[in-house]
Amino acid sequence: MRHPFRALALACALTLTPACAALHLSAPNPISAAQTNDQRAYAVIESYGALVETATIIVRNPAVPIEAKRAIGRAEAAATPSVQTLEIAFAAYLRARADYEAAPPSDDGAVTRAVTALNAAARALGQAIERAQAPVAELQTLISAQRTGGAR
Q: Where are the domains of the chain?
A: 28-150
Burial environment of residue 104 by CB neighbours within 10 A (0 to 12, 13 to 18, 19 or more): exposed
Task: Decide if pLDDT at 10 tops 80.
Answer: no
Alpha-carbon distance of 13 to 109, in angstroms, equals 60
Over the Cα atoms of the chain, what is R_g? 23
The mean of the pLDDT values for the chain is: 86
What is the model's pLDDT at position 112? 95
* Top-confidence residue, 116 or 11: 116
Percent of the chain with pLDDT over 70: 78
The band of 151, judged by pLDDT with boundaries at 50, 70 and 90, is: very low
What is the model's pLDDT at position 27? 55
